[in-house]
Amino acid sequence: MTKKLFIKTYGCQMNVYDSARMADVLAPLGFRPVDAPEGADFIILNTCHIREKAAEKVYSELGRLHQLKKNRERNGDSLLIAVAGCVAQAEGTEIMRRAPFVDIVFGPQTYHRLPEMVARAARANGKGSRRRVLDTEFPVEPKFDFLPQAAAPQGPSAYLSVQEGCDKFCTFCVVPYTRGPEYSRPAADVLDEARRMVASGALEIVLLGQNVNAYHGAAPGRPGGEWGLGRLIRELAEIGGLRRIRYTTSHPKDMDADLIGAHGEVEKLMPYLHLPVQSGSDKVLAAMNRRYGGDDYRRIADRLREAREDIALATDFIVGFPGETDADFEATLRLADDIGFTQAYAFKFSPRPGTPAALMEGQVEDSMKASRLKILQDLLAARQLAYNVASVGAMMEVLFDRPGKRPGQLAGRSPYMQAVHVDPPHSGGDDAPARAGRADGPDAITGVIGSIARVRIVEAHGNSLKGALQGGAGPARIAAQAGPDQRICA
């Protein structure tokens, strides 16, 4: 009998990958994923602990699920509820105490054991005798060895975890505690999984790791040998049918020469890199335990641009770290301005329980964090808009992987990771794809989802581009091709 499984995912791409793998693990038990919690037999919240707000969301969602479970039980039905991911890892016992209606709590490293956990919880559930399960170990055996090979297809752009955990212990960050020590999967396993993904329709593979460029997986057929991420990418690029490779998230300290070189040499490696800098102040970076300074970061950016002149750099910043002065914040603004990020996320420092920075002296007032955040975000948004505007007129290959927001629209990503949409045919405007030579009706346009199509950029917004489908294919570099017919929609 099929049972309905609803997984709600919070946090980073690794959690998205993990949720897909949880569904794979549960498929042999008859669970089929559904899009809404109503009517589900099993609900998993796959949670994130990175900032206080992220963690808070879990408890409010649990309140709603409790209600759902009570309604079910009133009708004589049962509902299993599980909390997974980084909040589960960090606050497992607390969840068990605060939310007694939760049946299972498990961490990011134990989800291969889900069938046993479900069997244990389900045996008791609905019969009055509740048996609850808490599994937040860091097992010695890596979960990857126990996950099923038959994974459900993820679509044209697929996530593939290659590295997990972190040994860097930045003083603000919970990840080393929630994900555990750094681990790299053997290269042969990664290559096998990548081939299976391509065989089931993936055109793009996004390699994932909390420190993905610290990857050092066992080399195939060479006992004791290791491959770094640069080598892994070069080998993945040999897979026929795979068109694009990306990786995220990287640490500046681990950008080695081979990986930087790969950006210049591997055509399938997309010209985009998310490389979190966190701050432009050497003093703050040292207090964060980042182990590089602002100028080290500038040099890495220069080397990346020497390897691939059109590479788009994206980043993360934290404002209001303990001890951050006006001068430190100005150094951050200078760095942001110098590098010219094409996308960036800025966060207010959130003191996380158990991390050294939460206890540091010189905690910054929330009002100061808020005003610095606004100043930085305005600068970042202006640079992002200017970059997008410079794309107008360019021809780009866009991987269309989903319908757009409006009916009939298509949405995808440029090589530079910009969101690009094209309007349905006959929607008015000179750029309607029906007149652009490639597509000539609604069927033609839906057929574009799951493919890489050539697009002329016709309009720039702060967070996205509008394109018109074109015939033909081939690489395009934006800076050289920005046209005069630019339209700005901030």
Number of residues this chain uses to bind ligand SAH (CB under 6 A): 17
Given ligand SF4, ligand F3S, ligand SAH, none, residue 352, with its beta carbon under 5 to 8 Å by kind, binds ligand SAH
Binding mask 365-404 for ligand SAH (x = CB under 6 A): ----------------------------------------
What does the buried/exposed string (b/e) look like for 402-428 if buried means 16 or more CB atoms within 10 Å of the residue's CB? bbbeeebbbbbbbbbbbbbbbbbbeee
Segment lying near ligand SAH (by CB under 6 A), choices 228-236, 326-334, 346-354, 454-462: 346-354
Shortest CB 61 distance to ligand F3S, Å: 15
> Considering only residues 315-344, where is the footprint of ligand SAH by CB under 6 A?
316, 318
Q: Which is nearer to ligand SAH, 209 or 412 (CB)?
A: 209
Q: Which is nearer to ligand SF4, 251 or 438 (CB)?
A: 251
**Phi (first) and psi of residue 83, to 5 degrees:** -115, 125
Q: Tokens standing for 448?
A: 């574009």
Q: What is the rounded CA–CA span in Å between residue 42 and residue 60?
A: 18
Segment lying near ligand SAH (by CB under 6 A), choices 167-175, 292-300, 385-393, 402-410: 167-175
> Considering only residues 273-292, where is the footprint of ligand SAH by CB under 6 A?
276, 278
> Considering only residues 203-232, where is the footprint of ligand F3S by CB under 6 A?
210
Segment lying near ligand SAH (by CB under 6 A), choices 132-140, 225-233, 298-306, 345-353: 345-353
Using the rule CB under 6 A, which residue among 157, 163, 178, 210 binds ligand SAH? 210
Using the rule CB under 6 A, which residue among 7, 20, 43, 50 binds ligand SAH? 50
Tell me the pairing of strands 419-422 and 410-413.
antiparallel
Q: What is the rounded CA–CA span in Å between residue 270 and residue 163?
A: 20
Using the rule CB under 6 A, which residue among 173, 232, 395, 411 binds ligand SAH? 173
Q: Report the C-alpha dihedral over residues 255, 261, 262, 266, rounded to 10 degrees.
A: 160
Place of tokens 């920075």: 357
Q: Which is nearer to ligand SAH, 202 or 285 (CB)?
A: 285
Q: Does 269 bind ligand SAH (CB under 6 A)?
A: no
Segment lying near ligand F3S (by CB under 6 A), choices 42-50, 75-83, 155-163, 389-397: 42-50
Using the rule CB under 6 A, which residue among 25, 58, 175, 357 binds ligand F3S? 175
Q: Does 165 bind ligand F3S (CB under 6 A)?
A: no
Q: Which is nearer to ligand F3S, 12 or 410 (CB)?
A: 12
Query: In this structure, are residues 162 and 194 in contact, taking their beta carbons and an 8 Å threshold?
Result: no
Using the rule CB under 6 A, which residue among 5, 6, 7, 15 binds ligand F3S? 15
Query: In this structure, are residues 26 and 42 in contact, taking their beta carbons and an 8 Å threshold?
Result: yes
Going edge to edge, which strands form the sheet with 343-348? 272-274, 312-319, 343-348
Given ligand F3S, ligand SAH, ligand SF4, none, residue 438, with its beta carbon under 5 to 8 Å by kind, binds none
Given ligand SF4, ligand F3S, ligand SAH, none, residue 350, with its beta carbon under 5 to 8 Å by kind, binds ligand SAH
Name the residues that contact ligand F3S, by CB under 6 A: 11-12, 14-15, 48-50, 85-86, 174-175, 178-179, 210
Name the residues that contact ligand SAH, by CB under 6 A: 50-51, 172-173, 175, 210-211, 249, 251, 276, 278, 316, 318, 347, 349-350, 352
